[in-house]
Amino acid sequence: MKNKRKEILKDLLGEFGSEESGEEDIESPDEKTYEEPVKESEYVPEKLDSEEEDFSSDYYFPQKSETEEDSDESYLPRKTEEKEKKSLFLDDDEGEYHLDSIMRNDAPAERNISQPKDDKPKVDRTKRRTKKIKKMSEGIKAEIIEEGLIPSYNVNVPKFTERERQLLNEIREKLVEVAVSQGEKFQLNEGSFIGEVKEFLKMRGVRDTDKLATQISQEMLGYAQLDPMIKDDDLEEIMVIGTDKPVFVYHRKIGMMQTNVIFEEDTDIRAIVDVIARQVNRRIDQQTPILDARLADGSRVNATIPPVSADGSTLTIRKFRKDPLTVIDLINFKTLSSHLAGFLWVCVDGLGVKPCNAIIAGGTGSGKTTTLNTVTSFTPPRERIITIEDTLELQLPHNHVLRMETRPPNIEGKGELDMDTLVKNSLRQRPDRVIVGEVRGSEAITLFTALNTGHSGFGTLYSNTARETITRLVNPPMNVPNIMIPALDFIIMQNRMYRPEGGSIRRVTEVAEIVGMEEGNVQLNRVFEWNNVVDKVEYVGIASQTLREIAELRGIGVTEIEEEIEKRRLVLEYMADNNIRSITDVGSWINEYYRDPDEVLEKIL
């Protein structure tokens, strides 16, 4: 590229180009320099590299055509005309919001042609900024800069011109008219809405209708400045901490990042929070300044407004992946081993005689809900599952699922449906499995009562160790009697560890089995444990009481149970080796194994 530039400069500038060719070798790709013009008529724009072609000097200083070579009058008016168009409408090339030009710290340096070559400042190539550009969706770009203590995540947030804002308001008024005229029959589809907006913009003379229609849809139907982040599946968390402060995001691979989005007015944050609240028929105001809700894709939302949050309204969105993680993903991520997955498959199934009960415990963001989702997917297809959650998060590849969600009280303090009420109600609906999203209060007694009366159940709980899980269960506010605890078969501990290079990993660190009571204390038997030296979940148990009880009820030996675990382990490893990981495909293979295990084993061996 440099040699090509030298040849072009030599052809254009003659001897001057050859004199300056020596200086080209020390230019940094990130720091473009321009020749200082001696006379306007002698100015020749320098050609930039292909990676910066969006900022070509032809945009700022258009080349004169052959017919205009001797006419300066034809050159200047065209420049003025194009500038006017740019201020009114977007265009494919002219109207793009270029992140590189906005965020570049180093301004283009003017080169003095009389400056001696020795005075040219040297460029340290080792200190150049490294940037990673990743497209998130059509027409939207995110720039990731892994540099400094907190990496940057910069999104393209366009600003509407006055003319574009007029078009936006006109479209909003027409949409309101249609909604009022159709009443309850009014339904809005984003795809058809964008199509209608494009037609409207064409009638108004807008050239780049695709870009402006997308921006208008984002403003009216999306989540304003947060919309690009919500659409990025690589983000795990989006955190708005108030006005005049940057929005932070947590990247699945890089970790905590700071964005270039800053809300200047608290009303902008409140507008987004109100949209989310209306979608789930909830409210947030001075009397109820805390909101727990969810997005249409299942992402969990928590919002607060003053006086709860002193620095203004806050918003935290824990995003759900568009393609949910499955047990195959957890095996590939080393969150659990294929041996542990096969063991849990057999225990959850219970071979049709004794399905196990389990609590998945861990800290915040440790992946408890994801593991609960994958373990529950082992449930045989003939069983009925009832899930109870504060916000619906579980996504089960199962046909017979009844999902229930708690409800906060209304403004008069009435109409509340708490977790305990829904757990009690679920026992009247003939469940085979009761799954409680988070056990933390009086519903724990109701759940353990159900486990002691023959139902099977799962749940999650905040805790750091298996022994601490027992302590939390038997003390306020749960107050589960000690005598009820043995109805639980396993405590699956999961933790989140941070890496020095950024990001984090999640591991099942312990699987403990409740084996009974001794002198009023619950006895635990550690079955699996994470070995941090080899980064693997290993089997450390001598004998499992749960497997022994299944074998006795089934009338077979424990050895046959272990052989069945090995068979299911082979099926899981085959799916992992062949990248069979989608929630639909994994559910299909599990159901096929229940239908005819010999046929599945014959297929993979």
Residue-wise pLDDT for 511-538, tens only, equals 999 999 988 899 999 999 999 999 999 9
Q: Are the beta carbons of 306 and 224 closer than 8 angstroms? A: no
25 vs 261, higher pLDDT: 261
pLDDT of residue 25 exceeding 50: no
Give the pLDDT band of residue 69 (cuts 50, 70, 90).
very low
Q: Is the pLDDT of residue 488 over 60?
A: yes
- Please identify which residue in the block is written with the tokens 């989310």: 276
pTM: 0.70
291 within some domain: no
Instruction: Find, among 535, 589, 100, the residue nearest to 326 by Cα.
Output: 589
Q: What is the pLDDT of residues 146-187, one digit of tens each?
A: 878 899 999 877 678 888 888 888 888 888 788 778 776 777
CB-based contacts of 48-54 (< 8 A; 24+ apart in sequence): 49/1, 49/5, 50/1, 52/100, 54/93, 54/96, 54/98, 54/100
CA 598 to chain centre: 39
Tokens of 370: 């994801």
Mean pLDDT, residues 245-260: 92
Same domain, 41 and 172: no
Q: Are residues 164 and 123 part of one domain?
A: no
In this structure, the answer to whether residues 58 and 186 fall within a common structural domain is no
Q: What is the mean pLDDT of residues 429-439?
A: 94
Sign of CA dihedral 240, 241, 245, 248: negative
pLDDT classification of 238: cutoffs 50, 70, 90: very high
Domain-terminating residue out of 221, 246, 271: 221
Residues 6+ apart with CB under 8 A from 351: 550, 554, 561, 564
pLDDT for residue 262: 94
Does the pLDDT of residue 346 top 80, yes or no?
A: yes
Q: Do 465 and 551 fall into the same domain?
A: yes
Whether residue 251 lies inside any domain: the answer is no
State whether 511 and 362 are in the same domain. Answer: yes
Predicted pLDDT of residue 349: 96
* Least confident span in 107-116, 122-131, 508-517: 107-116
Give the contacts of 496 (CB within 8 A, at least 6 positions apart): 362, 363, 365, 366, 367, 504, 505, 506
Q: Cα separation of 344 and 340, whole Å? A: 6
Q: Are residues 118 and 190 in the same domain?
A: no
Mean pLDDT of 79-102: 39
pLDDT at 125: 45
- Asked, for residue 381, whether it belongs to a domain, the answer is yes
Q: Decide if 452 contacts 474 (C-beta within 8 A).
A: no
Residue 368 has pLDDT above 90, yes or no: yes
How does residue 576 score in pLDDT terms, banded at 50, 70 and 90?
very high
Judged against a pLDDT cut of 90, whether residue 412 lies above it is answered with: no
DSSP-derived letter for residue 407 is B
105 and 179 inside one domain? no
Q: Which domain holds residue 187?
A: 160-221
Residue 259 in any domain: the answer is: no
How far apart are alpha carbons 471 and 480 in whole angstroms?
A: 10
Q: Indicate whether 127 pLDDT > 60.
A: no
> Two tokens at 152?
């940057």
Q: How many domains does the chain have?
A: 3
Contact 141, 156 (CB under 8 A): yes
Say if residue 184 is in the same domain as residue 91. no
* pLDDT score, position 227: 87
Instruction: Evaluate the CA torsion angle 386, 387, 393, 395 in order and state its sign.
Output: negative
pLDDT for 47 beyond 60 = no
Residues 438 and 582 in one domain: yes
Domain with residue 521: its CATH number is 3.40.50.300
Instruction: Cite the DSSP H helix spans in 280-415.
Output: 327-332, 338-349, 368-376
Residue given tokens 């283009």 in the structure block: 108
Same domain? For 471 and 547 the reply is yes
Q: Which amino acid is at 168?
A: L
437 located within any domain: yes
pLDDT of residue 68: 42
The predicted structure's pLDDT at residue 253? 85
Q: Tokens in use for 388?
A: 């109870």
CB 481 within 8 A of CB 473: no
Whether 238 is covered by a domain: the verdict is no
- The number of residues in the chain equals 605
Among residues 194, 221, 248, the one where a domain terminates is 221
- How many Cα atoms occupy the beta-carbon half-sphere of 288 within 13 Å? 14
Phi-psi region at 136: left, alpha or beta (left = phi > 0; alpha = psi -120 to 50): alpha
Compute the average pLDDT of residues 63-92: 41
pLDDT digits (tens, 9 = 90+) for 449-461: 999 988 999 999 9
Rounded distance between C-alpha atoms, residue 282 and residue 407, angstroms:
9
Q: State yes or no: pLDDT of 439 exceeds 60.
A: yes
Predicted confidence at residue 586, as pLDDT, reads 95
Please answer whether residues 177 and 282 qualify as being in contact, where contact means their C-beta atoms are separated by less than 8 angstroms. no
* 364 domain-assigned: yes
Domain final residue pick, 111, 129, 147: 129
Question: Are 101 and 169 found together in one domain?
Answer: no
Q: What share of the chain is helix, strand, coil (3-state, %, to 5)?
A: 40, 20, 40
Angle CA 156–160–161, to nearest 5: 135
- Please say if the pLDDT value at position 481 is more than 80: yes
Q: Find the range with the poorest average confidence among 189-193, 330-334, 417-421.
A: 189-193
Mark whether 190 and 73 lie in a shared domain: no
> What is the pLDDT at residue 7?
58
Query: Does the pLDDT value for residue 392 go beyond 50?
Result: yes
Per-residue model confidence (pLDDT) at position 525: 94
Residue 591: both structure tokens together: 């159901």
Q: What is the mean pLDDT of residues 295-299?
A: 86
**What are the start-end ranges of the E strands in 146-245?**
152-155, 235-240
Alpha helices in 427-557 (DSSP H): 443-452, 466-474, 545-554
